[in-house]
Structure 1
């Protein structure tokens, strides 16, 4: 009986996928995180072959995580020329392939372990970082700015102040692209309205200040027992249910969302969870801009969620088949992220 129930759950998820595809519903951007440059002691920047593989597969955006400290070795100092050139190469390769890039300082609202807003890392330093980085990429139409990866273990009010400081740095640089703004508590979609981490994101994050009003909220969602993304098994097979409350919150405020991280192991329960979640996004494109799977990159090896192909970029990972029905339309960045 349990096996039959599982088949029904997977079949239901597949029906959602087919319905979304046949109706022509698609988010604007669908892609993957190309991880590596966010690891200490290494610098695995994505390469052009990876970018072209995912573009040829049908994706049109990559999120590129990196350490803040890698790009800016000293607070309020110059950006490292070598690392900036590596990031520039990715943006240029992506443009040539017809794909867009999300720049993602992957620091959890910290610099060398010190939280933004502390005496060690004043908010002005975050403004300075984003002003420098946005200045470098303000003319790149295929770039979007992911403000910070997964702030956590801080008052939500403090994170809002830091976020607004970063936004001011971007806009003062003259950059007009989309900004992705996460919430506190690892920016979990399922916990957006909860208060176990302090004042809920749903209460505080309405206070985002962008003079261009050209931002979206970045949400992350995993489907294992504690929503941490550390298990290959998915307990929350109804992925849509984890997103429904934040979808309503966004719609009530006339705002947009972007699912910056989600994933599942190669098993039926995770396929049900993922396809349910992506079906929800496809059915609510007035709210959801897009998504990026976590993750790909050659340094992962046999990581439970890897989407990195094998056999010299010729063999897909199993999860790629789940994602294909939900790939974005081919509008890419004709008008850019601006």
Structure 2
């Protein structure tokens, strides 16, 4: 090998010391517009459910967040399968999306439906694949001209074969791209899309690791969306985290799967109770993402929104304007 001199030596030195890739996304899942599904549906706006205000996103933007995931219900937006989108509900969603992206933030659309419509899962006779694809075709047509809008196919598919979900997802991706939309798409896995259960083979059918890689986007502008909590059962319903190292432990195998399969992912939900162990867990998890930014695109805290009250995972500031304890943990990763 010939020795390097001059410009060639300089270029090689710069490449060798180039800064590692950075996580592009950091943000929060805003929850409230999907509430009320257990009451007489669709419920009363302003009582059973409400959209977050555009103004409320200023708090998170000031902290350094750049992505807001907005949850809503498929049934409210499209009252009849294959039918027109409801103008009033679409107007509420558009008001939030247009106002938030005008602030310079990005918005991830989140039909918070678990891959079901009025209790029937996609792929069943009551909700054929074509209906899910039609919904996304209509939604893509509404937002495809806003490059700051991202399309999250659905929240946490469950209670269905993984193969069924993969087919539904593929048809939705195909329908989205047929509209001319170039927006980023996030693709969840089956079985609540847990990173730690990506290789599970007992309780939700064929593992995501064996199936979900088949879903393809002709524009290659798609990332997997996984969720991860660190309590005993991984549900995010318990204040206590298992151990200080559980964050890395529950992410590292999925991280390797991404690298092996040349795919990327967004950690679409994470969270932990306000205690020292969970603080170590969250910091460890975010350090892991940072160290593997070649395959991780970023993260979203669960949750924010105007109706959580004293919910232990809420980052919404109190009436006194004070930060929740977990915001202090996140600050080093919001710069």
TM-score, normalising length: structure 2? 0.89
Tell whether 2:77 aligns with 1:77. no
Shift of 1:71: 0.8
Match for residue 102 of structure 1 among 105, 108, 122 = 108
Aligned to 1:184: 190
Aligned to 1:46: 52
Shift of 1:227: 0.3
Tell whether 2:134 aligns with 1:134. no
Aligned to 1:213: 220
Tell whether 2:31 aligns with 1:31. no
Query: What is the correspondence of 1:271-310 to structure 2 with a 5 Å cutoff?
Result: 271-310=279-318
- What SS is found at the alignment partner of 2:310? coil
Structure 1 unaligned regions, length at least 5:
1-22, 329-338
- What SS is found at the alignment partner of 2:137? helix
Shift of 1:236: 4.2
- Decide whether the 8 Å contact of 1:257 with 1:287 is kept in 2: yes
Distance (whole Å) between structure 2 residues aligned to residue 27 and residue 325 of structure 1: 13
- Decide whether the 8 Å contact of 2:21 with 2:294 is kept in 1: no
**In the superposition, relative to structure 1, how do residues 299 and 184 fare at CA in structure 2: closer, same or farther (>3 Å)?**
same
Structure 1's consecutive aligned runs of 4 or more residues displaced over 6 angstroms after TM superposition are: none
Q: Which has the larger radius of gyration?
A: 2
Shift of 1:94: 1.3
Structure 2 unaligned regions, length at least 5:
1-18, 37-42
Match for residue 267 of structure 2 among 259, 282, 286 = 259
Moved more, 134-143 or 48-57: 48-57
TM-score, normalising length: structure 1? 0.88
- Decide whether the 8 Å contact of 2:63 with 2:334 is kept in 1: no
Distance (whole Å) between structure 1 residues aligned to residue 90 and residue 244 of structure 2: 40
Tell whether 2:328 aligns with 1:321. yes
- Decide whether the 8 Å contact of 2:115 with 2:156 is kept in 1: yes
Aligned to 1:93: 99
Aligned to 2:244: 237
- What SS is found at the alignment partner of 1:295? strand
Shift of 1:25: 6.4
Shift of 1:43: 2.7
Aligned to 1:11: none
Of structures 1 and 2, the one scoring higher in RCO (CA 8 A, sep 6+) is 1
Distance (whole Å) between structure 1 residues aligned to residue 243 and residue 140 of structure 2: 38
Aligned to 1:336: none
Tell whether 2:224 aligns with 1:202. no
Aligned to 1:14: none
Aligned to 2:125: 119
**CA offset digits 1:45-64 (Å, max 9, x no partner):** 11022111110111001100
Distance (whole Å) between structure 2 residues aligned to residue 26 and residue 310 of structure 1: 31
Tell whether 2:163 aligns with 1:157. yes
- Decide whether the 8 Å contact of 1:65 with 1:106 is kept in 2: yes
What's the Cα RMSD here?
A: 1.3
Shift of 1:119: 0.5
- What SS is found at the alignment partner of 2:175? helix
- What SS is found at the alignment partner of 1:298? coil
